[in-house]
Amino acid sequence: MVRPNILLTGTPGVGKTTLGKELASRSGLKYINVGDLAKEGQLYDGYDEEYDCPILDEDRVVDELENQMKEGGVIVDYHGCDFFPERWFHIVFVLRTDNSILYKRLESRGYNEKKLQDNIQCEIFQILYEEAMASYSEEIVHQLPSNNPEELENNINQILKWIEQWIKDHSS
């Protein structure tokens, strides 16, 4: 059976991981958190002192994911998206969160002030939505609100319907 590949992107703290894990458990698709994948495989290219985090080696991440993406049925979760091949994804969801809610989520993660402010700015200026729009066909890029459990549930149900329809449309 052919199954779609889905990208979940957005500023850190918008709920990509929560949505991705729940979607995977309800849809049977495979969930991949790129941050975890990089950590497990040490797919890094140095360390960013200013943001206190490792620097992702994007080429090695793409090489690592290539075969799974060809097979299909994968939900990829990452805050960046411009380095993934366009051919990988059938749909892209950019999660968006109100700044006051996002601030609290990032603060609870212990982000330093610079990292906190830069991520809030990123959300205000829709940086990741614009990155997705520039990287993929506009028809497949969708924004979803991600502020509370009700919106999470709505998003899950909406995406599950989309998956079901996609599978119907692509099964011959």
Dump the DSSP string for 100-155.
HHHHHHHHHTT--HHHHHHHHHHHHTTHHHHHHHHHS-GGGEEEEE-SSHHHHHHH
* pTM > 0.75: yes or no: yes
Q: Is the pLDDT of residue 127 over 80?
A: yes
Mean predicted confidence (pLDDT) in 56-68: 98
Q: Which pLDDT score, from 0 to 100, does residue 120 have?
A: 97
| Structure token digits, residue 15 | 């709920």
User: Measured between alpha carbons, how far is 139 from 119 in angstroms, rounded to an integer?
Assistant: 26
Q: Which pLDDT score, from 0 to 100, does residue 52 have?
A: 87
Q: Tokens 């809030």 sit at which residue?
A: 120
Q: Is the pLDDT of residue 86 over 80?
A: yes
pLDDT bin (cut points 50, 70, 90) of residue 172 is: confident
Closest to 119 measured CA to CA, from 141, 143, 101 = 101
Q: Which pLDDT score, from 0 to 100, does residue 8 have?
A: 98
